[in-house]
Amino acid sequence: MTLCELSLALPGRLLPWYGSHARDLPWRQDRQPYHILLSEIMLQQTRVEAVRAYYLRFLDRLPTIEALAEADEQTLLKLWEGLGYYSRVRNLQKAARAIVAAGGFPTSREGLLALPGVGAYTAGAVGSICFDLPTPAVDGNVLRVMTRLAAIDTPITSAALRREITAALAAAYPAGRCGTFTQALMELGATVCGPGGAPACALCPVADLCACADGRWKDIPVRPAKKARRREEYTVLILCCGETIALQKRPDTGLLAGLWELPNRPGRLDAQGAMDWAVSLGVQPQRLLRQLTRRHIFTHVEWQLHGYEFLCGQAAPPLQWQPACEAALPTAFRILLDRDDD
């Protein structure tokens, strides 16, 4: 079957299947655009199980788009702490402000695409789920399902392939059930034809249409070889004074832009070098409490962090001293405060 023929056959199979197999997820309780937009932004690069608690906590604290538009930055960053990719929440707030200023959510694909941080996938998801538009939300899950169904061996990163699949699906969207079709496709890619290990072809509602049900799924989708991650090494100071730790702000551009961080510098110092450096920052380290090494992996870079925790006599400027539990620290630094696995 061609991609178009397959796409046209999908609603008839997937809608009934989804009706009886959909997972009960907090963002599926309603179709409010704020809720769907928030969940889709959170779900980018993050697993469903990890998002669940973040989503509920975020809405508990900021229940409306107006509350999000007015929230202060520290509140936002704290609510996002641990999810990573902090530009997502900053853009989400910019989008909220644009929506409030316009008097409501845009209801067209073009209007959604004009919001900060909203790309084709998110516009497709919000457009179809909230406004019943025939706008496919083509992410890695949907690409995997569609390339397997049609046994397409074009690399999955191809923009032309994504356009072709989007167009084929758009033509198949069932009027009045666009949102359910989007969610059904997502669900199939997340639960039956998943990214890791063997797909559950025996449970798949479209197995008889699929060109890969015979085992060809092992070769599809085709992924270009990944570039090796860059490795960087840092010495990090954990300076403690009473209940507070010393923090500083990261630069406004680049990785983790504008977030709080522990004082750090490239390279690996020994304990004496770290103490000398702390003194040069204006603090008075009294005693080395801990020495530890942690690794943190970003998409394109891996950090090797050598931490030195010092007890300090005085919470001196110019470093900012904050209670460790209150600071909105990205996970890359938060792992150095974790005592569970010393």
CB-CB contact of 112 with 126 (8 Å):
yes
| Binding map of ligand SF4 across residues 121-160, x = CB under 6 A, - = no contact | ------------------------x--xx-----------
* Residue 22 CB neighbours (<10 A): 15
Candidates 150, 213, 278, 328; binder of ligand SF4 (CB under 6 A) is 213
Nearer to ligand SF4, 123 or 149 (CB): 149
- Span of 23-31, 89-97, 210-218, 286-294 interacting with ligand SF4 by CB under 6 A: 210-218
CB-CB contact of 109 with 127 (8 Å):
yes
Query: Which residue has tokens 């204006």?
Result: 282
CB-CB contact of 38 with 60 (8 Å):
no
Nearer to ligand SF4, 203 or 257 (CB): 203
The residues facing 266 across adjacent strands are 234
Min separation Cβ 199 and ligand SF4, Å:
3
Nearer to ligand SF4, 39 or 147 (CB): 147
C-alpha–C-alpha distance, residues 206 and 187, integer Å: 13
Per DSSP, helices labelled H in 151-216 are 159-170, 178-187
What is the dihedral angle through the alpha carbons of 273, 276, 277, 280, rounded to the nearest 10 degrees? -160
Min separation Cβ 217 and ligand SF4, Å:
4
Min separation Cβ 214 and ligand SF4, Å:
9
Candidates 43, 210, 236, 305; binder of ligand SF4 (CB under 6 A) is 210
Nearer to ligand SF4, 123 or 193 (CB): 193
Min separation Cβ 320 and ligand SF4, Å:
51
Taking CA atoms, 98 is separated from 104, 112, 141, 172, 177, in Å, by 9, 11, 30, 32, 28
- Span of 119-127, 131-139, 198-206, 318-326 interacting with ligand SF4 by CB under 6 A: 198-206
* Residues shown for the chain: 342
- Span of 31-39, 92-100, 205-213, 227-235 interacting with ligand SF4 by CB under 6 A: 205-213
What is the dihedral angle through the alpha carbons of 193, 199, 205, 207, rounded to the nearest 10 degrees? 110
Min separation Cβ 195 and ligand SF4, Å:
11
* Residue 188 CB neighbours (<10 A): 26
| Binding map of ligand SF4 across residues 9-48, x = CB under 6 A, - = no contact | ----------------------------------------
Residue 26, SS3 per DSSP: helix
Dihedral class, residue 80 (left if φ above 0, else alpha if ψ from -120 to 50, else beta):
alpha
Residues with a catalytic annotation lie at 40
Candidates 14, 65, 212, 245; binder of ligand SF4 (CB under 6 A) is 212
Candidates 80, 217, 310, 321; binder of ligand SF4 (CB under 6 A) is 217
Min separation Cβ 21 and ligand SF4, Å:
13
Candidates 43, 123, 185, 207; binder of ligand SF4 (CB under 6 A) is 207
175-194 binders of ligand SF4 (CB under 6 A): 192-193
Taking CA atoms, 163 is separated from 55, 159, 166, 168, in Å, by 30, 6, 5, 9
319-338 binders of ligand SF4 (CB under 6 A): none
* Residue among 90, 94, 95, 84 nearest 255 (CA): 84
Q: Which residues bind ligand SF4 (CB under 6 A)?
A: 145, 148-149, 192-193, 199-201, 204, 206-207, 210, 212-213, 217
